[in-house]
A = this chain, B = another copy of it.
Amino acid sequence: MKFNNRNVVLGANVRLGKNVRIGDNTTIYDNVEIGDNTIIANDSVIGEPQHAYYFQGGYSNPATVIGANSFVRSHAIIYAGSTFGDNLNTGHRVTIREGAEFGTNCLISTLADIQGNATFGDYCRLYSNVHICEFSKLGNHVFIYPYTIFTNDSRPPSNHYMGPTVGDYTIIAVHSVVLPGVTIGSNCLIGANSVVSRDIPDFSFAVGSPAKVTRDIREIGSREKEGAQYPWMYNFERGMPWQGIGFDAWSQQQH
């Protein structure tokens, strides 16, 4: 139903891997590389030209790379100069500016707004309407829930930007704000509607505005079994690289 090559436009030097499918009404601009078996659904724009395209002569579109086995749902806008590892999965209407570097196996959900010039590890999940500012650094397996915002200007408006940093395996619940320059450690859980204004140490559960550490995540019980829910990697494996073998076995393979 979607891949009829209707109103599809490919720019110069677009390199498509094997079995790539491009949806109708999609435009792919110059210098985009898309890996094998990837789907770019309909009504999308890939390799969106940067600001200089409109105003400077001699503009050449920077390279955009989307890895193999990816699935970009409809109405995406992905700028030139961003890169995505294999197995990218997006919702609808994502907007991703230039200079975003994503690892493998990332999820970027519907209406997510990635401001660019930010780095993301592997297996990150950015849910609906998440807003990530420039200069953010996310580790691996970081999950950010809907409508959470990262900010980088502590004296708005200023010229002094400091993006937040988030460690591996950390979870940030819905409607939270991470303030400029804050470092959230690894294995943290931030509660819904929090404002994280200070650094948060590893393994903390923090909540509130401003967010305060109220306990160790390992004290939070599961709703599915006896014992603790966190670290969550022992209780959740869907889509994770330890699926079927368990987190400890997978971790040992990494060393």
Residues of B within 8 A of A9 (CB): 6, 24
A97 nearest CB across to chain B (Å):
9
A195 part of interface (Cβ distance < 8 Å): yes
Residues of B within 8 A of A125 (CB): 157
A43 part of interface (Cβ distance < 8 Å): yes
The answer for the CA separation of A62 and B126 in the assembled complex, in Å, is 28
Residues of B within 8 A of A25 (CB): 7, 25, 27
Judging by beta carbons under 8 Å apart, are B27 and A232 in contact? Answer: no
Copies in the complex: 3
Judging by beta carbons under 8 Å apart, are B54 and A74 in contact? Answer: no
Question: What number of A residues sit within 8 Å (CB to CB) of B?
Answer: 71
Residues of B within 8 A of A91 (CB): 95
* Selected contact of A110 from candidates B95, B157, B159, B220, CB within 8 Å: B95
The answer for the CA separation of A131 and B147 in the assembled complex, in Å, is 9
Least CB separation from A6: chain B residue: B9
Residues of B within 8 A of A158 (CB): 222-224, 229, 232, 235-236
Judging by beta carbons under 8 Å apart, are A179 and B192 in contact? Answer: yes
Q: Contact string, A149-191, partner B, CB cutoff 8 A, digits 1/0?
A: 1010011111110000000000101110101000000000100
A84 part of interface (Cβ distance < 8 Å): no
Q: A92-B95, A175-B149, A192-B195 are in contact. Are A155 and B222 (CB under 8 A)?
A: yes
A143 nearest CB across to chain B (Å):
6
The answer for the CA separation of A151 and B176 in the assembled complex, in Å, is 14
Interface centre among A11, A30, A147 (most CB of B within 10 A): A147
Judging by beta carbons under 8 Å apart, are B151 and A145 in contact? Answer: yes
16 new A-B contacts at CB < 8 Å, known A27-B42, A158-B222: A6-B9, A75-B75, A75-B77, A129-B129, A131-B146, A145-B151, A149-B174, A155-B220, A155-B230, A155-B235, A158-B235, A160-B223, A177-B193, A179-B192, A193-B193, A208-B209
